[in-house]
A and B are shown apart, each in its own frame.
Chain A
Amino acid sequence: MQWLKKRMRLLLALVEALTGEAETVSYPKTELELPKGYRGAIQLDEEKCIGCGLCVMDCPAHGLELEKESKSVYKLTYYPARCAYCGQCERACHRQAITHTNQLPGSTTDPESIIVILKDQKEQEDSDE
């Protein structure tokens, strides 16, 4: 009897599972909910960025590149194909210019095609100040 009772334990779980709802979803048909702090591709608030390069220094995956000619002429480029979505750049930027979106770039065989130029600061704009 005892043996049967113990054996029933798994059978019971089996019946429970059979009567309950399925826990998996058929993915593309059902939307998935992303968590609050999901780290997708990054975006830049151009107003805030001053081209200091701190984010580039701390990026572990060479996902950001800064070409700097002078204090006011620089170009910040983002390479999603290299990015590890680690969140270092978001934290490194002292001006909170970088934030993560909850989107990932689509897959591609040509990593060049998804490069984003985050900011291209030219001389003229600088003269307005």
Chain B
Amino acid sequence: MAESLFYLLIFPGITFQLVCGWFFEWFDRKLQARFQRRVGPRWFQPLADLLKLFSKEDLLPSGANEFAAAALPLISLGAVLTAGVYVPIAGFSPASFEGDLIVIIFLLSVPTLAYYLAGIISAGIYSVLGGGRSLLQFFSYEVPLLIALSGPAVMAGTWSIREISSIQAEMGPFVLFQPIGFILAVVGLIGKLKRSPLDIPKAKSEVVAGSLTEFGGVKLAIWNTVMNIQAVVGIFLLVNLYSSWSGIVAPVLAVPVFFLESVLMIFVLSAASAVFARLRIDQLAGLGWKVLVPLALLQLLVVILMGV
């Protein structure tokens, strides 16, 4: 009992996820700043921002559904934190079971749907636009992402993340066999996290802040936390699926290598957001269905043929 509480609350549960989320956010912001030749924030900035939001007044426009507006961020937070418990950290996974990959993919979609609903219920014109856009974007990136993520699963012959990650000790990191799949997964992750260049649902110059335009105070703080933890889970997931070295390197090095890879992933995400301009929603749909899906299918075909 005490053990599961520890797993749930400390590691790899809430506390660990939060700390990682803050660190990743800070690192991302610092990197962005350095790309732009700025100094960048100090290490406690994400925490300070969170505290600031907590101390702010919480307003919603009249006509918004107060209950739903409070429930949606909490539901998303619950979903991403649950997902976080199932992702192995450097091979350590107390709650693993066969099929948890599917559960995680499902749980990571919850915030997107909540985001869409948040746009609809918060009675703002930009929120509605942003919500609609987030759904459109969801359909564009989710399918290639799913196909890409099933690549490692098919290759390993199991749907448990821990198994997939440990089997790479024998077969070698999957990123070597499925580079296209990995790139597609990164693109899908960017879309899922609504990061630039796929920040179409919250493009500032177009729809102000998208679904979250009308949110403020504690609710916005929770939303931001959700986004952070979603990033953490997504990055850990990709590292596990595509480049798990925990069985290959010496056990002492497993943890540093794991985190190094995660940090590298943030670097890749940051660089992508600095280098590409935001796409238009029709361009994204075109990219998603005409380029990403065929590529993902091709990759899957290759994986299946390799297995035969």
Contacts and interface: CB of A to CB of B under 8 A. Distances in A.
B288 to A, nearest CB: 20
B275 A23 contact: no
B205 interface: no
Nearest to B34: A18
Nearest to B274: A14
B135 interface: no
B37 A11 contact: no
Contacts of B39: 22, 24-26
| Interface size class of chain B, counting residues whose CB lies under 8 Å from the partner chain | 10 to 19
Contacts of A26: 39
Contacts of B62: none
Contacts of B274: 10, 14
Interface string A13-25: 0100110101111
Interface string A35-51: 00000000000000000
Contacts of A5: none
Contacts, number: 30
Nearest to A8: B275
Interface in B221-265: none
Given A22-B39, A26-B39, A7 B34 contact: no
Contacts of A22: 33-34, 37-40
A88 to B, nearest CB: 37
A10 B277 CA distance: 11
A17 B34 contact: yes
Contacts of A24: 37-39
A14 B37 contact: no
A23 B271 CA distance: 19
B150 to A, nearest CB: 28
B35 interface: yes
B283 interface: no
A52 B72 CA distance: 72
Given A11-B275, A14-B271, A14-B275, A23 B38 contact: yes
Given A22-B39, A26-B39, A10 B275 contact: yes
B36 A17 contact: yes
A10 B38 CA distance: 17
A22 B32 CA distance: 12
B300 to A, nearest CB: 25
8 contacts: A11-B275, A14-B35, A17-B34, A17-B37, A22-B40, A23-B37, A23-B38, A25-B39
Interface of A: 7, 10-11, 14, 17-18, 20, 22-26
The 5 closest A-B pairs by CB, nearest first: A23-B37, A22-B39, A10-B275, A24-B38, A17-B37
Interface of B: 31, 33-40, 271, 274-275
